Structure 1
Amino acid sequence: MGRRGGMGKTLVALAVLCLPAFPAHPALSADPVVKGPERGALVIVGGGRVGPEILTRFFDLAGGRDAPLVVIPTANGADTFPDDWSGLKMFKDFGVTTITLLHTTDRKIADSEEFVRPITTARAVWFPGGRQWRLVDSYLHTRTQREIERVLERGGVVGGSSAGASILASYMVRGARENNDIMMAPGYEEGFGLIKGVAIDQHMLTRNRQDDLEEVVAKHPDVLGIGLDESTAIVVRGQQFEVTGASKVAIHDGRIVKGAQERHGKKYFFMAPGERYDLTKLERIGKANRSEQP
Structure 2
Amino acid sequence: MNPGELLIIGGAEEKCVDGDVLNVFFELSKKNQGGIGILPTASKIPDEVSSVYVKTFNKLGTERVIVLDVDSRDRADASDIVETVSSLSAVFITGGDQSRLAEIIGGTKLYSILHEKWKAGMVIAGTSAGASIMARQMIVAASMKQDDDKLDIEMGTGFGFLDNLIIDQHFSQRARFDRLLSAIAENPEIIGIGIDENTAILVKDGVFEVIGEHQVLVIDGKSNEFIEIKEAENGSEELTISGFHLHTLTHGYSFDLSNRKIILKKENGK
- TM-score greater than 0.5 by the shorter chain: yes
Q: Distance in 2 between matches of 1:172 and 1:90?
A: 28
Q: Distance in 1 between matches of 2:55 and 2:96?
A: 17
| Structure 1 gap segments, 5+ residues each | 1-36, 259-263
2:253 corresponds to: 275
SS in 2 for 1:270: strand
How far apart are 1:223 and its partner, in Å? 1.3
CA offsets 1:138-177 (integer angstroms, 9 cap, x no match)? 1001110111112212212000100010011111112579
2:188 corresponds to: 221
- Name the amino acid aligned to 1:275: Y
Matched ranges for 1:23-38 at <5 A: 38=2
Aligned CA-pair RMSD: 2.9
Q: Which structure has the higher relative contact order (CA within 8 Å, separation 6+)? A: 1
Q: Runs of 4 or more off by more than 6 Å in structure 1?
A: none
TM norm structure 1: 0.75
CA offsets 1:98-134 (integer angstroms, 9 cap, x no match)? 1110122321221222222110011100011111111
TM norm structure 2: 0.81
1:134 corresponds to: 100
**For the Cα contact (< 8 Å) 2:221–2:243, is it kept in 1?**
no
- Name the amino acid aligned to 1:46: G
How far apart are 1:278 and its partner, in Å? 0.7
1:46 corresponds to: 10
1:123 corresponds to: 89
Q: How many percent identity over aligned positions?
A: 31
**Mean alpha-carbon deviation: is it higher for 63-72 or for 43-52?**
63-72
Q: 1:105 to 1:289 in 2, by over 3 A?
A: same
How far apart are 1:265 and its partner, in Å? 9.6
1:100 corresponds to: 66
**Mean alpha-carbon deviation: is it higher for 90-99 or for 154-163?**
90-99
- Name the amino acid aligned to 2:100: R
2:210 corresponds to: 243
- Name the amino acid aligned to 2:162: I
2:43 corresponds to: 76
- Name the amino acid aligned to 2:4: G
- Counterpart of 2:154 (choices 149, 165, 184) is 184
Q: 1:84 to 1:48 in 2, by over 3 A?
A: closer
Q: How many residues align?
A: 245
| Structure 2 gap segments, 5+ residues each | 146-150, 226-241
2:230 corresponds to: none
SS in 1 for 2:47: coil
Whose strand fraction is larger, Structure 1's or Structure 2's?
2
CA offsets 1:230-252 (integer angstroms, 9 cap, x no match)? 00000000111101100000001
